[in-house]
Amino acid sequence: MKKRKIPLRKCLGCGENKAKKELIRIVKKADNEVLVDFTGKVNGRGAYICPNIDCLNESISTKRISKSLAIDISKETIERLKEDIENKIIN
């Protein structure tokens, strides 16, 4: 029987390759709205980070999220992303 391939994605914070389901997806939609996609099904350009605050802070400070999504991200959007991810990690 053929073994099923597990999709891997690279975390923007630490740079490790991990299974897609282990990571959190950040999406830029067609209307340039940036949001956290916990389902993995929202249409748009996606970037992935580990579910910890250190990786999020690293990807923000090095502007990897902005480069990956090809958009300048406002401070309000960054704060909203942090809140969403912190709520997800705690729960």
Retrieve residue 53's tokens: 């605050």
Per-residue pLDDT band for 91 (boundaries 50, 70, 90) equals low
Residues 8, 19 contacting (CB under 8 angstroms): yes
Sorted by where each begins, the domain ranges of the chain are: 8-90
CA 74 – CA 39 distance, rounded (Å): 23
The pTM of this model reads 0.87
Of the candidate CATH numbers 3.30.1230.10, 3.40.1010.10, 3.30.530.20, 3.10.20.740, the domain formed by 8-90 belongs to 3.30.1230.10
Phi/psi of residue 11, each to 5°? -70, 135
Alpha carbon dihedral 50, 56, 61, 63, in 10-degree steps, equals: 70
pLDDT tens for each residue of 15-72: 999 999 999 999 999 999 999 998 889 999 999 999 888 998 999 999 999 999 999 9
- Provide the CA 34 distance to its chain's centre, in angstroms: 10
